[in-house]
Structure formats: structure tokens, C-alpha cells
């Protein structure tokens, strides 16, 4: 991702809208005993699009803003969401997302880790939090909810940041022509030289159209 001033403003607005939606709407919902959390989904989407550094910075800022808004223990959400953004960015830098289910699956797994990590950090800090076997169930439900939320959120975030994304060759084209894709990357995106043009063989010398006429005329003059 190519970050500029306006792209940073867009990312800040996306994070602000996500935190406001979480505080004013999603925090009052309860589905199967768990509360949907949209902020990790947005942070994971930005990490998958921007990389580890962008994801970590966005996660830290989003967590700090979320802790201040909900009057919770300052720093817990920042550390958890920083990890979510960093891991999402590292996955994007290390592997290719070939399947449409990829972003949703990654987001669900990171949401599960975020829920479990948040509980673990609160217990480590001595914060009064209920501990029971239902915590694992709530984390699993939260992961499934994040999986469902990632379907509309990831395309919307990608649409909002599309001007900053680095264009890459589709994975299907790389699988069909791996040698050509590698040669194109080595050539810096330019077409490799030496391709056949209009069926001509490389190394074969071509003559101008008028050379045959001049040779025929000179042969006829010599014979006379």
C-alpha cells in the first residue's frame, strides 16, 4: 500500500466509523450470547491490504480509541488489535490470498485470537472478569460473527483504499503461466524480449518489399 496524506485520512475515517459503530450499535447486540466486534474485522482488513506495519499502527490507534470510548482498561484493546493488524499484514506479505474465502477465514481466526488474548491480558493485569468455560464458547461465536462481517467489510475497505493498493497479477494468471509471470517480474513488468512477432523466427533477416523488385530488374538488365 502506498500511504499518502489522503490515504491516511481515509484510514483514520474508516477506523473512526468502525469504533463509533461498535460503541453505539454493535455493543448493544447479543447473538447467541456473544457481542459482535466490528473493530478487529476492520483492522484485519486494513492489515491484509496494507501490510504488517500499517496493520499494527492502525490496530494500536483503533484499540486506544476503543478503550477511551468504552472506559475500559487502557492499553488492553491496543495490544490485542496491534497483534491482529500485524498478523494480518504478515500473512498478506508471506502468502497469496487466492480464494474469496481467504479474508473471511483469516479474519475469523484473528477474531478468535483477539477474544482469547483480551481475556488473558485482563486476567494477567488483575482486572475483575468472569472466568468460566463459556469464555471459549463466546470466543468461537465471536469468530463466526467476524467471519460473517468480513464478507461486506473487506470489499468496502478495499474499495475505499483502492487508489493506494499496489496492483498485482491475478493468482490464476500466475498459475497458468508461472514462467512468463516470473520473467515479467524479473523484467520489471516489461515484456521479455525475444518473443516471436507475427510468426517470424528470431535471427531471421527480413528484407524490404522493394528489394525483390530491384533484384529482379537488375537480373533482367544483365541478361539483356
pLDDT (tens digit per residue) in 53-86: 999 999 999 999 988 888 877 888 889 999 999 9
Residue 26 burial (C-beta neighbours within 10 Å; 0-12, 13-18, 19+): middle
54 contacts 1 by C-beta, under 8 angstroms? yes
- Return mean pLDDT, the chain: 76
Please check whether residue 220 lies inside any domain of the structure: no
pLDDT in tens, 180-208: 445 444 444 444 444 433 444 445 554 55
Parent domain of 79:
5-164
The answer to whether position 153 is within a domain reads yes
Provide the domain count of the chain. Answer: 1
Assess whether pLDDT exceeds 50 at residue 120: yes
- pLDDT 10s digits, 136-154: 778 888 889 999 999 999 9
Position 95 in a domain? yes
Question: Is 110's pLDDT higher than 60?
Answer: yes
Straight-line distance from the first to the last Cα atom of the chain, in angstroms, rounded to the nearest whole number = 75
Q: What does the block give as the cell for 209?
A: 518489399
- Tell whether 131 is covered by a domain: yes
Residue 107 lies in a domain: yes
Find the helix packing angle between 39-50 and 52-70, rounded to 10°: 160
User: In this structure, what CATH number is given to the domain that contains residue 78?
Assistant: 1.10.1760.20
Exposed / middle / buried, residue 32 (Cβ in 10 Å: 0-12, 13-18, 19+): exposed
Residue 89 lies in a domain: yes
Amino acid at each position: 500500500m502506498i500511504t499518502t496524506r489522503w490515504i491516511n485520512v481515509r484510514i483514520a475515517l474508516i477506523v473512526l466509523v468502525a469504533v463509533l459503530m461498535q460503541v453505539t450499535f454493535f455493543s448493544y447486540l447479543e447473538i447467541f450470547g456473544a457481542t459482535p466486534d466490528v473493530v478487529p474485522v476492520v483492522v484485519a482488513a486494513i492489515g491484509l491490504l496494507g501490510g504488517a506495519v500499517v496493520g499494527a499502527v492502525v490496530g494500536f490507534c483503533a484499540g486506544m480509541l476503543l478503550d477511551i470510548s468504552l472506559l475500559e482498561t487502557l492499553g488492553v484493546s491496543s495490544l490485542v488489535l496491534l497483534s491482529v493488524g500485524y498478523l494480518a499484514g504478515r500473512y498478506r506479505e508471506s502468502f497469496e490470498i487466492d480464494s474469496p474465502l481467504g479474508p473471511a477465514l483469516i479474519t475469523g481466526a484473528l477474531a478468535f485470537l483477539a477474544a482469547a488474548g483480551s481475556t488473558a491480558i485482563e486476567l494477567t493485569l488483575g482486572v475483575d472478569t468472569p472466568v468460566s468455560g463459556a469464555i471459549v464458547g463466546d470466543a468461537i461465536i465471536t469468530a463466526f460473527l467476524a467471519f460473517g462481517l468480513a464478507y461486506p467489510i473487506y470489499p468496502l475497505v478495499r474499495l475505499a483504499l483502492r487508489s493506494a493498493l499496489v496492483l498485482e497479477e491475478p493468482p490464476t494468471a500466475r498459475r497458468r503461466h508461472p514462467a512468463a509471470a516470473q520473467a515479467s517480474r524479473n523484467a520489471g513488468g516489461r515484456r521479455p524480449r525475444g518473443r516471436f512477432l507475427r510468426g517470424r523466427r528470431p535471427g531471421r533477416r527480413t528484407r524490404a518489399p522493394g528489394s525483390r523488385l530491384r533484384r529482379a530488374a537488375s537480373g533482367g538488365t544483365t541478361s539483356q
